[in-house]
Structure 1
Amino acid sequence: MKKKSLLFMLIALLSFGLLLAACGGETEDPAETETETEGEEGGEAATGEPQKGGTVTAAMFSAPGHQFNPIFYADSYEANILDFTHEALVGLDENLEFIPELASDWKFNDDFTELTYTLEEGVKWHDGEEFTAEDVVFTYTAIADPAYTAAGGVRVDYVNQLVGYEEYVAGEADTFEGVKADGDYSVTFYFKEPSITALQYTSFPIIPQHVFADVPVADMPAHAASRDAGSVIGTGPFQLTDMQEGEQYVLSAHADYWKGAPYLDSVVWRVVDNAIMTGLLQNEEIDMVGLPGGVPSTDAADVDALENVELVQDQDFGYQYIGFKLHHSEGEQEDWTDKSGWVVNEKLKDVEVRQAIAYAVNRQGFVDGLMDGQGMVINAPFPEASWAFDPEAVNQYDYSPEKAIELLDGAGYKDTDGDGFREDPSGNKWVLNLDYPSGNQTRERTAPIIVENLAEVGIEVNMRSPREAAAHFELVEKNNTDWDMYLAGWGLSTGDPDPSGIHRSTAPYNYLRWDDAKSDELLDAALKTPEAFELEYRQEIYNEWANYFSEQLPELPLYSANVNVAFNTKFHGWTVKPRMVNDDAHLWWVEQ
């Protein structure tokens, strides 16, 4: 098995170096950096030149949610399609430094409030139209549109730092001043304040203006160009040309791809049960098991033993967690980020209850028993792969039913009717609903164990039947009033560990409905410039935030797992970067 040791403490420094150098496209020689991160490249052992033609079949364990417009997609399975069809201005290399993509170069002004990109020329959309700066302006203006969040969009973090966002989203301005084109091949982003995350938040996939120009933002999610094979248009090396919903998705080579025509004819994603994944690899019915999830840790040894498969192990920036629904939405909210419609969930409002749950759940048992030790328990949403990880900064919740019982007793949750389960402090029946998605075998297996663990300390849990991931997260977002706990995964951006996207109270992904002024204050402080250009400052703030998070526990992080991805030995040209295996697909090829 190929294993990589990833030490990312210098990642932020590398990224900040790009910012402070105020230039783009020039990165340090990897041999001269201190980071030990390296991309794994496939195909070195192949003889001869790359061969044209053929198909790579890849496996994913849950069906995409049928939204193939980047500004509206919701799950990682949809992202597996978009990785091939759409592109951003910049990307990340194996050292997590920003590199040119649709932009050939970039520069900042003196006070880091303006970021100007020079775009590649001659880039063609799948339908033959030319990519220009107007497409970039159109994409970010659509995300800033007043109808965007009501239509289901959740990417406002990509625009809310820009000049004029508040006025435009409120309908007080006719144009969005935060991004402007200067000719066909230059575009400038204008930030309200110096931004340390400017490159990250200008790295969103671009959609075609000529396709959506006459489509109201409210109607975009249902439009054929967001949903239908053959109608989804991007600049990427492959186009979605056919699909059998929930079964397979066919991506065909874009012959006029600006980096050069792909070697492959097609890439096919098959939706398979991970229980049969090893057999499919062995029989060469699939050539790749990528992300999300990858090869389950329980199957890694068997897959590694296959002579026709190469297994690559990596640490992940993601983690699994139990989400606590701290507020519910009152009635139908067009904009569910509007906190005026939030109602406290009385069943989980006491921090002692959430802390008791943390002590009661045997998370180390998940790592040891379900994952063969290939992962670690975390107590804050910074996995070990992140430079923000510091186990000394957080409150520890080692498995202790005794401490859980003590906390529950002290908070007034006691078994008053002798049925073995606790009532709330008012003597009312107290049952917590638990919902979880299918598609991740390890996560599915944790659900009944969580129920058993909590029953041992007197907490009654109603575990509901699992749903497909798309349906599960649609309900998580809708915030139904009978939801209490849910299982999910989250991944930090590889560009920056800022956890605001899920934990700031006004964030569209704040599915927890955590409303905490101190948390918001610390998250904002971590991005305050010029102080935040110093890594030590940000580490200190994130340590303070992680400590507070682990005290309040708006969610219970369960574990961060090692990631295993697998490739048929006849499949070459692939690259494994942190959390990325779909990059540079135009260079993929198979031995015929």
Structure 2
Amino acid sequence: MNKTFRKNLALMATALSVSAIMWPSAIAVAEGANLPLSVTNEGTVIDGGVFKYALVGDPFSGALSSLYAEKSNDMRITEFFNPGLYGSDGDYKIDDSGLAKLTFDQANKKVTIKIPEGVTWTDGQPLTIEDVIYPYYVVGHKDYTGIRYGSDFKNVVGMEEYHDGKSDTISGLKKVDDYTLEISYKEFSASMLQAGGGVSSYVEPKHILEKTPIKDLEDSEQVRTNPVGFGPFKVKSITPGESVVFERNDNYYKGKPKLAGLQVDVVNASTAVSEMKAGNYDYASLPEDAYNTYKDASNFKTLGRLTNVYSYIGFHVGTWNKEKEQVQPDDSKPVSNKALRQAMAYAIDNDAIGQRFYEGLRVRANSPIPSMFASYNDGSIEGYTYQPEKAKQILADAGFVDKDGDGFVEDPNGKSFKLTFASMSGSDVAEPIAQYYVDAWKQIGVNVELYEGRLLEFNTFYDLLDKDADIDVFQAAMGVGGDPNPSTQFGRDNQFNSMRWATEENDKLLAAINSDAAFEDAARKKAYDDWQKYVIDEAPVIPTLYRHSLVSINNRVKNFDITLGSGTEWQDVELTADQPVKE
């Protein structure tokens, strides 16, 4: 990040003082980045060529298997040679674009998986339905060392009996023939239709993995140094934690890739922009908060799309009851009052934050369902806009009045209170944004201070939330994966409900989302809309910002499209020069 941008951040932090809270509305409205989803470059394509991919972030751990990868960089590398069982559309709904075709039988709680004949692993061996079945026996095994064994796998009939050693087989897995599998489930909600919503996408080479005891598999050669897949590329060499060199898979079932190979290097986020400008890479995901340092680059184009992540401010209204394994709201806390939560929501200008701090690359959120889920996000909901006078009126109407003249309201019982606000460190804009929120709330008469007077490191922050520390308000982000079902974050019996918020009405609305009726598109849409309207009014969280994912593509790449569900596939990528273009 250059000195000018750092200076601007400092100026913005100063501007976001109490005296600068009232931003003009014309300035506050975020215009958005208006980034393209695709690029087409001039030039005649060459034969082959090696695509240079900058994997921005920390070194990968080396667990290059869908069964064991935990870090995002390990998962990304794995996708190049093992793209998984099925594809999905722009709403992450499972479709027929991947290897398998799935048929859903709601009445009998079954899914039938059909894979094509003639597909081979990169070692030449045929891919059969045994390779779809075997991952269940690995993940469910008592000696399995990964993190995948959870509610989705336990939902398969007979899985828990197998895991507990009561059976040598998983009764819910029925092999119909060499290319067809029928799976029986205990529960069968509409989330099953979503990628990552309940049906495993794992397919692994049984003929290789079965040679190693499951207790040793995670650290084996088959996972760490010589993984085999069926994707567009196959692994040629690995430099642990640093790079992977791929060569094309001439027998890829979707067609022979046009590239000769792919080189993936781990690149530090602090140098990613300079590496792209120097022409060292064809592809990199670059940071939003440095956008103004590369938005006018001459040798690459930046593409962007909204992601499945939303930032939010949460209100910690209770605790986790370990005995009952559910949240336990505490009505005595000031933030348990809905009016206070609503007022604090109207006090902050997230349009301006997205524009001033993120160059319009983050936009005000209207719902906990990210807007990229077009079929689920309720666009009729405005969400919370910047209306400080309305915030003050809501407080007054609810009995929050400044009775002692200190500038801060007392609660409806006349008792003074001060809220603690927890927010994470990690970027140059983290502190000024957190301070802005504190100042904005003070402007409407709500006394708020940072937890322990400082920002918190990532792990410390979540440890405190998990332990129900003395935190009233917190700022966090939630990635909803491929399934927008809000039950995980807002369910009464889910520990990911960091707000510890629950109501009987919320229980009913979530039950409707998870009901059999929700398998019908219209009923599912209504269930999601009803829940969103309710949760926005109740305001256990304030959805603040949706964010863009930015991808920079070098000018030697002929075509590249990042549209979710219909973007460019790797077998179709072409180059127009032997090396990336320099600035």
Correspondence for 1:299 among 291, 298, 301 = 291
C-alpha displacement at 1:558, in angstroms?
Answer: 0.7
The equivalent residue for 1:308 is: 299
Distance 2:226 2:465 in 1: 27
Is 1:585 equivalent to 2:566 in the alignment? Answer: no
C-alpha displacement at 1:141, in angstroms?
Answer: 5.2
C-alpha displacement at 1:370, in angstroms?
Answer: 1.9
C-alpha displacement at 1:155, in angstroms?
Answer: 5.6
Distance 2:377 2:150 in 1: 25
SS at match of 1:138: helix
Question: Is the 2:409–2:416 contact (alpha carbons within 8 Å) kept by the matching residues of 1?
Answer: no
C-alpha displacement at 1:319, in angstroms?
Answer: 2.0
Correspondence for 2:544 among 558, 561, 564 = 558
Amino acid at match of 2:176: D
Distance 1:41 1:202 in 2: 31
The equivalent residue for 2:247 is: 253
The equivalent residue for 2:448 is: 459
Question: Is the 1:92–1:98 contact (alpha carbons within 8 Å) kept by the matching residues of 2?
Answer: yes
Question: Is the 1:238–1:266 contact (alpha carbons within 8 Å) kept by the matching residues of 2?
Answer: no
Distance 2:234 2:392 in 1: 52
The equivalent residue for 2:433 is: 446
Which ranges in structure 2 are unaligned for 5 or more consecutive residues? 1-35, 579-583
Amino acid at match of 1:388: Y
> In the superposition, relative to structure 1, how do residues 41 and 384 fare at CA in structure 2: closer, same or farther (>3 Å)?
closer
Is 1:190 equivalent to 2:222 in the alignment? Answer: no
C-alpha displacement at 1:548, in angstroms?
Answer: 1.7
SS at match of 2:96: strand
Distance 1:283 1:207 in 2: 38
Is 1:407 equivalent to 2:404 in the alignment? Answer: no
C-alpha displacement at 1:283, in angstroms?
Answer: 1.8
Is 1:388 equivalent to 2:376 in the alignment? Answer: yes
The equivalent residue for 2:19 is: none
Give runs of aligned pairs for residues 359-398 of structure 1, distance below 5 A.
359-385=346-372, 386-393=374-381, 396=384, 398=386
Amino acid at match of 2:531: W
> In the superposition, relative to structure 1, how do residues 51 and 69 fare at CA in structure 2: closer, same or farther (>3 Å)?
closer
Structure 1 length-normalised TM: 0.71
Distance 1:473 1:211 in 2: 39
> In the superposition, relative to structure 1, how do residues 298 and 161 fare at CA in structure 2: closer, same or farther (>3 Å)?
same
C-alpha displacement at 1:568, in angstroms?
Answer: 0.4
Distance 2:83 2:464 in 1: 28
The equivalent residue for 1:98 is: 95
Amino acid at match of 1:387: S
Q: Which stretch of structure 1 is more off in the superposition, 551-560 or 85-94?
A: 85-94
Correspondence for 1:288 among 275, 283, 287 = 283
Distance 2:351 2:66 in 1: 36
Distance 1:524 1:455 in 2: 38
Amino acid at match of 1:181: K
C-alpha displacement at 1:182, in angstroms?
Answer: 3.1
Is 1:263 equivalent to 2:259 in the alignment? Answer: yes
Question: Is the 2:139–2:146 contact (alpha carbons within 8 Å) kept by the matching residues of 1?
Answer: no
Is 1:543 equivalent to 2:529 in the alignment? Answer: yes
> In the superposition, relative to structure 1, how do residues 479 and 63 fare at CA in structure 2: closer, same or farther (>3 Å)?
farther
Distance 1:74 1:324 in 2: 29
> In the superposition, relative to structure 1, how do residues 364 and 77 fare at CA in structure 2: closer, same or farther (>3 Å)?
farther
Q: Deviations over 1:229-280 (max 9, x none)?
A: 42666544354954565xx443533647634467253332434336x54433
C-alpha displacement at 1:570, in angstroms?
Answer: 1.1
Question: Is the 1:532–1:538 contact (alpha carbons within 8 Å) kept by the matching residues of 2?
Answer: yes
Amino acid at match of 2:299: N
Correspondence for 2:505 among 518, 523, 537 = 518
SS at match of 2:325: helix
Correspondence for 1:432 among 420, 429, 434 = 420
Q: Percent identity?
A: 20
Q: Deviations over 1:22-81 (max 9, x none)?
A: xxxxxxxxxxxxxxxxx95656634134423x2413253566687655356556455433
Give runs of aligned pairs for residues 84-123 of structure 1, distance below 5 A.
84-92=80-88, 98-103=95-100, 105-108=101-104, 111=107, 113-121=109-117, 123=119
Q: Deviations over 1:357-393 (max 9, x none)?
A: 3233321221232233444322321233322222434
C-alpha displacement at 1:542, in angstroms?
Answer: 1.3
SS at match of 2:534: helix
Amino acid at match of 1:180: K
Q: What is the total number of aligned residue pairs between the two structures?
A: 528
Distance 1:423 1:436 in 2: 28
Question: Is the 1:287–1:567 contact (alpha carbons within 8 Å) kept by the matching residues of 2?
Answer: yes
Question: Is the 1:378–1:560 contact (alpha carbons within 8 Å) kept by the matching residues of 2?
Answer: yes
Question: Is the 1:62–1:438 contact (alpha carbons within 8 Å) kept by the matching residues of 2?
Answer: no
Question: Is the 1:90–1:203 contact (alpha carbons within 8 Å) kept by the matching residues of 2?
Answer: no
Amino acid at match of 1:211: L
CA RMSD of aligned residues (A): 4.7
Correspondence for 2:209 among 194, 208, 211 = 211
Question: Is the 1:57–1:285 contact (alpha carbons within 8 Å) kept by the matching residues of 2?
Answer: no
The equivalent residue for 1:48 is: 45
Q: Which structure has the greater CA radius of gyration? A: 2
Distance 1:312 1:482 in 2: 42
C-alpha displacement at 1:569, in angstroms?
Answer: 0.9
> In the superposition, relative to structure 1, how do residues 304 and 433 fare at CA in structure 2: closer, same or farther (>3 Å)?
closer
SS at match of 1:561: strand
Question: Is the 2:246–2:262 contact (alpha carbons within 8 Å) kept by the matching residues of 1?
Answer: yes
C-alpha displacement at 1:546, in angstroms?
Answer: 0.6
> In the superposition, relative to structure 1, how do residues 172 and 557 fare at CA in structure 2: closer, same or farther (>3 Å)?
farther
SS at match of 1:182: strand
Distance 1:415 1:140 in 2: 63
C-alpha displacement at 1:550, in angstroms?
Answer: 1.2
Distance 1:472 1:226 in 2: 35
C-alpha displacement at 1:98, in angstroms?
Answer: 1.3
C-alpha displacement at 1:110, in angstroms?
Answer: 8.9
Amino acid at match of 1:320: S
Question: Is the 1:288–1:567 contact (alpha carbons within 8 Å) kept by the matching residues of 2?
Answer: yes
Distance 2:236 2:402 in 1: 56
> In the superposition, relative to structure 1, how do residues 382 and 195 fare at CA in structure 2: closer, same or farther (>3 Å)?
closer
SS at match of 2:209: helix
The equivalent residue for 1:36 is: none
Is 1:322 equivalent to 2:313 in the alignment? Answer: yes
> In the superposition, relative to structure 1, how do residues 214 and 420 fare at CA in structure 2: closer, same or farther (>3 Å)?
farther
> In the superposition, relative to structure 1, how do residues 80 and 423 fare at CA in structure 2: closer, same or farther (>3 Å)?
farther
C-alpha displacement at 1:454, in angstroms?
Answer: 3.6
Q: Deviations over 1:84-142 (max 9, x none)?
A: 24322211356967124332x44455957433222244555567765432332233455
